[in-house]
Amino acid sequence: MKTLRFTKMHGLGNDFMVIDGISQQFEPEKAPLTKWANRHIGVGFDQLLLVERAHSDAVDFRYRIFNADGSEVEQCGNGARCFARFVVDKGLTDKQEIVVETARGIILPRLAENGLVTVNMGKPHFMPSEIPFVPAAGEAADALVHMILVGLESVPVSCVSMGNPHAVIVVDSVKTAPVEQWGEAIEPHEQFPERVNVGFMEVVDSSHIRLRVYERGAGETQACGTGACAAVVAGVRLGLLEEDRQVRVSLPGGDLYISWHNGSDVMMTGPAETVFEGELQY
């Protein structure tokens, strides 16, 4: 039996089990991640975050992310903020801006004195091969909106990669949007070879949206950082949101603030909080 130290954290209710893989040995492939994710018999989390040593002197840390179903994914915005808060609070770095390696590139979290964390999430990508996404026959690869068949209904989605795949749907109201029904159908859709996160966006005005996200491998969560980024990017491209202006994204767990200028990196600002520390044996 091994003893593993961990920290429970959350970003707007999107919760994480965070493990320091630098000061202790941890092999996620040999761990019962789905059991730990279970909220009745385990720690309970949407994602597990693993802090590892960097593979290059040019970066500070490596960052791995595992969903509640045990699958490894490329990126997590709320997790990135918690990651930054964790490595500072644990004394693993004294930097306020951290260079972090992920499966899909470099991110740059920065801690502010007010406790919020800003993360440079990099540039969004739109081409089908970058998401990945398979357009229907006859659809332009660079179309702003693609049609997805859900049952007998064609649903318009905007496809964005924020290091992980997102399908954004504009709805009249997030309260009445068929989040579970369409989320369950679109997340494993054959046109998304690596599955997809599904965002339901209600535009309040040109600088404020409401958002619910059905996450790949986790179901609907209280907040999704990359989903908030993808929704704002899609809204700007569709002419629904103002470019060069910070957009307030209201999620079930609280608000994030996203800014993006076409061609630039996406900036995300929000909180990261520690819930408790613990140990388990496996």
* CA–CA dist 44, 38 (Å, integer): 5
Contact 17, 5 (CB under 8 A): no
Answer whether 249's CB lies under 8 Å from 227's CB: no
Query: In one letter, which amino acid is 55?
Result: H
Active site residue 82: no
38 is in an annotated binding site: no
- The answer to whether 228 and 251 are in contact (CB under 8 A) is yes
Residue 30, C-beta contacts closer than 8 angstroms, at least 6 positions apart: none
Q: Is 114 annotated as a binding residue?
A: no
Question: Residue 170's closest CA among 125, 86, 231, 129?
Answer: 231
CA atoms within 13 A on the CB side of 260: 29
Is residue 229 annotated as a catalytic residue, yes or no?
A: no
Which amino acid, 110?
A: R
Angle at 160 between CA 154 and CA 163, to 5 degrees: 140
Cα of first residue to Cα of last residue in the chain, in angstroms, is 5
Say whether 78 counts as a known binding-site residue: yes
226 is in an annotated binding site: yes
Angle value at C-alpha 114, between 112 and 116, nearest 5 degrees:
60
Catalytic residue among 76, 82, 159, 229: 76
On whether 120 is known to bind a ligand per the annotation, the reply is no
Q: Are 257 and 269 in contact (CB under 8 A)?
A: yes
User: What backbone phi and psi angles, to 5 degrees, belong to 53?
Assistant: -65, 145
Given the residues 82, 159, 224, 229, select the one marked as catalytic: 224
Residues annotated as catalytic (active site), given as ranges: 76, 224
- Binding site per annotation, positions for substrate: 14, 47, 67, 77-78, 164, 197, 215-216, 225-226
- Binding site per annotation, positions: 14, 47, 67, 77-78, 164, 197, 215-216, 225-226
